[in-house]
Structure 1
Amino acid sequence: MPESVDQIRIAILGASGYTGAELVRMLARHPAADVRVLTAERQAGKPLAEVFPHLAYLNLPNLVKIEQVDWSEIDFVFCGLPHGTTQEIIRALPHTVKIVDLSADFRLSDPASYAQWYGHEHAAVELQREAVYGLTEFNRQGVRSARLVANPGCYPTATLIPLLPLVLDGLIQTDDIIVDAKSGVSGAGRDAKQANLFCEVSEGMHAYGVGHHRHMPEMEQELSIAAGVPVTMAFTPHLIPMNRGEFITTYVKLAGKNGPDDLRAALAARFENEPFVQVLPAGVVPHTKHVRGSNQVHISVFKDRLPGRAIVLSVLDNLVKGASGQAIQNFNVMNGLIETMGLEQAPMFP
């Protein structure tokens, strides 16, 4: 890591949420990050230490409302606002400011698809067309030249990283992809909701968004680009009683004479020089605890009992590589920095 780099003045919008807290935690160790502004509508006026006591040791500005921000003092924005509220705010930002948006508002390139899945017209279609999809390992060139990067969702990140190389190399059939996804409760955000209370989620597990989860079109969009033909997949997410982590089990149908070992070999070759993606040795099952608190993705491939099929397993921390860590990875690429800067921390275990 360089001893000194130019400071980039940063605003974090929505700093009182889980992804906002993760951004602050990781940027505190980032040598190029100068966090100047933290916004939170309901918590405005409070020190961040009052909202997140674990960050009390940091010297940070108090939380403010967005309309109080002096944008002339800001070079870069991390936008962690809720879906649907981001479009008008980003639309009003100066064009001199670069942005990574962690909401879903700019992930879909087709305005009609956005309206279909989110129930309303997009309020900043011109920016929707400009936004670059920020799955860093597959779109560095686009991210490097972008002003606005749409940070992928946690489920799409964990699903697409192992699937895209298999689709691009023609190793699997694209008309038969089944994804069984499980996420910790932090993926639902920090707002008080009855469904997320301890007694509602502990000692149990349930599916949600069955057959119509909003991450489905995002994944199908990227898989279709890779395949060169429309791809429709089966996807069912589940909420499990842990704070953070994501486990994806994907069932695929092999193409031609390829076997599970060919899939694993292709993934190992594709990610050999990727610092944040690890293809595990044959027979090793990934575990969410082995990536907790890190920007790592662990992948494994197994033979299915059904002939001609394979099982692809992938895990990540939904708040880091699935959100804030990947946002910082994109921040680094957008600003010509070392891609791993500020993201070198090892996973926390146990």
Structure 2
Amino acid sequence: MSQKIKVGIVGGTGYTGVELLRLLALHPNVQLHAITSRKEEGMKVAEMFPNLRGKVDLAFSTPENAALTECDVVFFATPHGVAMAQAQELLDAGVKVIDLAADFRLQDTAVFEKWYKMPHGCPDILKQSTYGLVEINREKIAQSKVIGNPGCYPTTVILGLAPVLEKRLVEIDHIVADCKSGVSGAGRKAEVGTLFSEASDNFKAYGVSGHRHHPEISEQLSKLAGAEVGLLFVPHLVPMIRGMLSTIYVKIKPDALATDFQKLYEERYANEQFIDVMPAGSLPETRSVRASNQLRIALHRPGNGDTLVIVVVQDNLVKGAAGQAVQNMNVLFGLAENTGLNHVAVLP
């Protein structure tokens, strides 16, 4: 693709926004056209994010002055509800939309309104949108104009379970997903629970009685399984900046006990460059994916019994958010999926 993709970012002052900028600034097929923030209008992006000094020359502008309709694609790194208020105008101008919030993740508007406490502003556009998990919906994404970028927790759980659900090899009435995330998953805002003195040297569960990602995970798992799943999902906050580890427990069906699950996963993801099925018995660490778009999976079967334990790690800001959004953009515009995403994880 010789012509550059003209990109706009709405809401570029958060952690997913700066990750988008970090990835797109060096993307060989992208021209950064506009980035918006009402509060920071006129401020140079590199003044807020010094890691982008010399790489991004844009200043923040208001959405009204950003000429977003001149873009080829607009990313929304905004709170829930923003993308659906602006999507129609952009679509009318021929602009593709990738939303990193939840506006286009859940197809059932009643479920969306229950969990996000707001009416859905464009159910007609929602029906045309695609859930942006490339490893599951690649062909559909390529033909879409609106992408609902998956949540971070759902990415790990859905990709962790896809091979066994597609083959109907496990019981689906009681799936347990025990998930942990770094503090950046809470966003770049002032909250007591994410203050250093509160989050450091501490480890806690939250959202046990209900979390917004639960219906998203359940909807996608049910599609894969061909029937409604029973899911117990418990998220935890870990005292680290970035990274996510999900441990998933499922019961193997009696007639599937002889299955070679390691081989199943290796074959299912053999052609997926961002999914690494690790050798049998591996224990993946969050640091092995830090700042990369890689997701690593390891399988365990304690005592060779009827429980399959699936361990999944990813960077919540990259494969769990901005990197996945860029991967979606690459598919939308017919680029190689790894374009601009070949970053090796950062160690130590």
- TM-score bucket (shorter structure): over 0.9
| 1:262 to partner: Cα distance | 2.1
Matched residue SS, 2:90: coil
- Within the alignment, does 1:36 sit opposite 2:33 as a pair? yes
CA–CA distance in structure 1, aligned partners of residues 339 and 226 of structure 2: 34
Which residue of structure 1 aligns with residue 14 of structure 2?
17
CA deviation map 1:2-52 (0-9, x unaligned): xx7320110011111111111111112211100010111221210011111
Task: Structure 1 unaligned segments of length 5 or more: list them.
Answer: none
- Within the alignment, does 1:329 sit opposite 2:333 as a pair? no
CA–CA distance in structure 1, aligned partners of residues 232 and 125 of structure 2: 30
CA–CA distance in structure 1, aligned partners of residues 150 and 184 of structure 2: 16
CA–CA distance in structure 1, aligned partners of residues 257 and 287 of structure 2: 29
Sort the Cα spacing of 1:164 and 1:10 in 2 relative to 1 into closer, same or farther, 3 A.
same
Q: What code does the residue aligned with 2:90 have?
A: L
CA–CA distance in structure 1, aligned partners of residues 335 and 153 of structure 2: 27
| 1:85 to partner: Cα distance | 2.8
| 1:68 to partner: Cα distance | 1.1
CA deviation map 1:108-129 (0-9, x unaligned): 0011111122223211111111
CA deviation map 1:307-339 (0-9, x unaligned): 411110000000000000000000000001111
CA–CA distance in structure 2, aligned partners of residues 85 and 349 of structure 1: 36
- Within the alignment, does 1:93 sit opposite 2:90 as a pair? yes
Matched residue SS, 2:172: strand
Number of residue equivalences: 347
| 1:264 to partner: Cα distance | 2.0
| 1:56 to partner: Cα distance | 1.1
CA–CA distance in structure 2, aligned partners of residues 186 and 260 of structure 1: 41
| 1:88 to partner: Cα distance | 0.7
Q: What code does the residue aligned with 1:9 have?
A: K
- Within the alignment, does 1:263 sit opposite 2:261 as a pair? yes
Q: What code does the residue aligned with 2:203 have?
A: M
Matched residue SS, 1:174: coil
Do the aligned residues in 2 keep the contact of 1:303 with 1:310 (CA within 8 Å)? Answer: yes
Give the structure-2-normalised TM-score.
0.97
Do the aligned residues in 2 keep the contact of 1:260 with 1:303 (CA within 8 Å)? Answer: no
CA–CA distance in structure 1, aligned partners of residues 259 and 50 of structure 2: 47
**2:47 aligned to 50, 53, 56, which one?**
50
CA–CA distance in structure 2, aligned partners of residues 208 and 189 of structure 1: 15
CA deviation map 1:145-203 (0-9, x unaligned): 00000000000001111201110111111112000000000000001111110001000
Which residue of structure 2 aligns with residue 204 of structure 1?
202
- Within the alignment, does 1:250 sit opposite 2:241 as a pair? no
| 1:72 to partner: Cα distance | 4.2
**1:181 aligned to 179, 190, 208, which one?**
179
| 1:136 to partner: Cα distance | 0.4
- Counterparts of 1:19-168 in structure 2, within 5 Å, are 19-95=16-92, 96-168=94-166
Give the structure-1-normalised TM-score.
0.96
Q: What code does the residue aligned with 1:55 have?
A: L
Matched residue SS, 2:207: coil
Supply the RMSD in Å over aligned alpha carbons.
1.4
Sort the Cα spacing of 1:9 and 1:231 in 2 relative to 1 into closer, same or farther, 3 A.
same
CA–CA distance in structure 2, aligned partners of residues 84 and 74 of structure 1: 21
| 1:255 to partner: Cα distance | 1.3
Do the aligned residues in 1 keep the contact of 2:34 with 2:67 (CA within 8 Å)? Answer: no
Task: Structure 2 unaligned segments of length 5 or more: list them.
Answer: none
Q: What code does the residue aligned with 2:129 have?
A: A
